[in-house]
Amino acid sequence: MADLSLPATPTRKPGLLAAGSAIARHRFLSHPKVRLALVLLVPIILLTIFAPILPIQKPLETNLRAMMQFPSIEHVFGTDKMGRDIFSRTLAGVQVSLLVGFSVAGIALVFGMVLGTLAGFYGGLIDRAIMTVVDIFLAFPSLLLAIGLVSVMGTGMVPVILAISLADVPRFIRLQRSQVLSLRSRAFIDAARTVDASQFWLMSRHIVPNTLAAMLVAASIAAANAILVEASLSFLGLGIMPPQPSLGNIVRDGQTYLEQAWWISTLPGVVILLIAIGLHFLSDGVRELLDPRSR
Amino acid sequence: MAEYTAKKLAQMLITVIGVITLVFFTLRLIPGDAASAMAGDTLSGEALQVLRDQMGLDEPLLSQYLGFLRDLAMIDLGETITTRIPIADLLWRALPITLSIAMATIVLSIVISIPLGTLAAFMAHKGRNWLDNGLTGAAMLIDLMPPFWTALVLLLIFSLGLGWFPASGQLDWSNPGSVALRLALPVIVLSLSQVATLARITRTAVLEVLNEDYVRTARSMGWSELRVLFRHALKNAALPIATVVGLSFGNLLGGTVIVEFIFTIPGVGNLLIAGINSRDYQLVQTLIVLYALLFVVINFATDLIYKTLDPRVQF
């Protein structure tokens, strides 16, 4: 006769928690999309970190005896009109990209969660005030809002990060608010209320943890988007300014020499594309892991 | 419908006033003021004061703000500060170009993506997943390509390499053929990412409908596949497609700035970049408000189209 008894319910001992997180890590690393993302992103990140000790020319170093050279073993991505090594400049640019991507994702996540939770949880006047401002910000196409903001704040790393974040925060507030609104009316919140849980307890223990999954997915999409926007701004001459390399301004530099030296513009663009694909699969994988229904 | 339109119109008006207010006050946040930021080190003392008077920066903030609102309402856009050309004249030339690019992109991407998305849905429905996966994967890849990079690669191949399209030169409106050739590559670049999104939306919408009972009923009545498709599947797909076209219009406007820059097309985007580079805040604030206005109006139109296509929508 088949064994119809229920499987033993696992009892939660403190030691199991560590085991649980190890299992979670294993599941994360064995997810095919996450694996593909890591295969793309890890080498790029490692190369960026170790760029200073790699046997390549420094990003700002010129060499007038090796101008506009076709890609070779010595110069993997070729050289530009001043004999600078494009590969080394690209790695320096990736460093800028990653910094911008993670900063924007972090800023958008923090401000989005705080303001979105307040708006959704308290409702009323706070909600209306926050959402009115959010709606106004969302009336601007995001690249144009960033362009407008850097035109006021000036060029450089910090203004670019702030401008892109300001364009992203409203989207995060809206997402967080809609999640909080739907959670607020759930039974477990009522249950916590009946035992006189404080509002801070409700928000920090019951609401925010349940919104984290969607926000993390949104953050990884925002990081990819921020990298693209920074590159676009720098390409238009409004973001990171030369001589400091950024993927956008390297491509811009090469535009003038497209016919004679196509590699200056096209190869750094391929790297942006690889990072974008990596972050896309990472966010997709994380979403599938955190939300079993979407599989 | 009239009530719905009025309500949406009121919402739009509030947003527009908010947008104008935000732009106005953001420009007043510039450290120092707009005049000294504009002049840099080139002007000092009296000359700077003249510029300040010209821009009305010494008037009380409130009267500056009301003046700005009044001018915009009267469509009195003023002159550029550096070259003293009426901004309305500049827009009269630049706006039709940018709008042609945007509209051509929307038309082209709809014409391509609906058959493509439908095909993918059909293949998925029939279990021919390799074609569906291929199309979906390609759409994803295209969607992730940075538009300025795609533009340069296409420019390299089709203009500089094959010589099919002119890479630069005047837009001669008396010769529509040459204008079409000149705008072809920018429109194709912008369409690529639109097609990727729209084809995916079409695929999902059609696939969903193909699994419905009423489609099976239609088939059982001996309808041809094409008739089923046109009568049921595409009609239902129209709704999400209209929504996405409206929502992605903002990205499209951002994209026009990039392609106009790369292909040196004298549209609003190049005007904006020139305005920022010469620190002409009068021009920049007008253009940013204009872009937001375009986006808001398109979203309003999308809401109305949505309501017409699906009368059940409340709001």
Question: Domain extents for chain A?
Answer: 33-53+76-294
Predicted confidence at residue B10, as pLDDT, reads 87
pLDDT at B43: 66
Q: Is the pLDDT of residue A16 over 70?
A: no
**What token pair was written down for A252?**
């811009």
pLDDT attached to residue B146:
87
Residue A19 has pLDDT above 70, yes or no: no
pLDDT per residue as tens digits for the range B163-178: 787 777 677 777 777 7
Average pLDDT score over chain A: 81
Q: Average pLDDT for residues B301-315, to the nearest whole number? A: 75
Which chain A residues are Cβ-neighbours of B148 within 8 angstroms?
231-232, 235, 248, 251, 269
The answer to whether B259 and B101 have CB atoms below 8 angstroms apart is yes
**Is it the case that residue B106 has pLDDT exceeding 50?**
yes
Token digits of residue B265: 């097309």
Inter-chain residue contact A140 with B19, CB threshold 8 Å: yes
A248 touches chain B (CB under 8 A): yes
* Residues forming beta bridges with residue A79, ordered by sequence position: A85
**Alpha-carbon separation of residue A154 from A147, B172, B211, B271 (angstroms):** 10, 36, 54, 18
A94 touches chain B (CB under 8 A): no
CATH number of A33-53+76-294: 1.10.150.530, 1.10.3720.10, 3.20.10.10, 3.40.630.30?
1.10.3720.10
Cα A7 from Cα A266, distance rounded (Å): 57
- Distance from the Cα of B301 to chain A's closest Cα (Å) equals 14
| Residue A293, pLDDT score | 61
Beta bridge partners of B79: B86
Question: What's the whole-number mean pLDDT along residues A111-120?
Answer: 92
What residues pair up with A85 in beta bridges, in sequence order? A79
Name the residue among A259, A269, A277 with its Cβ closest to that of B160.
A259
B110-148 in b/e burial notation, b at 16+ Cβ within 10 A? bebbbebbbbbbbbbbeeeeeebeebbeebeebbbbbbb
For B259-295, the pLDDT digits (tens) are: 999 888 888 999 999 888 887 888 888 898 888 888 8
Query: How many Å apart are CA A199 and CA A192, to the nearest integer?
Result: 10
pLDDT of A35 = 86
> Is A183 a residue whose pLDDT tops 80?
yes
Alpha carbon dihedral B41, B45, B46, B51, in 10-degree steps, equals 50
Instruction: Please write the tens of the pLDDT for every residue from B63-98.
Output: 888 888 888 877 777 777 777 788 888 888 889 889
Q: Is the pLDDT of residue B31 over 80?
A: no
CB contact under 8 A, A152 and B295: no
Contact A142, A229 (CB under 8 A): yes
Residue A165, pLDDT above cutoff 90: yes
Instruction: Note the pLDDT of residue A295.
Output: 47
Report the pLDDT value the prediction gives residue A12, as an integer from 0 to 100. Answer: 45
In one-letter notation, the amino acid at residue B79 is: E
Mutate to test the interface with A, among B26, B29, B152 (most CBs of A within 10 A): B152
pLDDT: is A121 or B42 the higher one?
A121
Percent of chain B with pLDDT over 90: 9
Residue A17 has pLDDT above 60, yes or no: no
Q: Is B157 on the interface with A (CB under 8 A)?
A: no
φ/ψ of residue A12, rounded to 5: -90, 105
Work out the average pLDDT over A61-69: 71
C-alpha separations of B106 from B55, B197, B247, B269, B305 in Å: 39, 12, 12, 18, 15
- Confidence band, pLDDT 50/70/90 cuts, at residue A6: very low
Distance between CA atoms of residues B48 and B52, nearest Å: 6
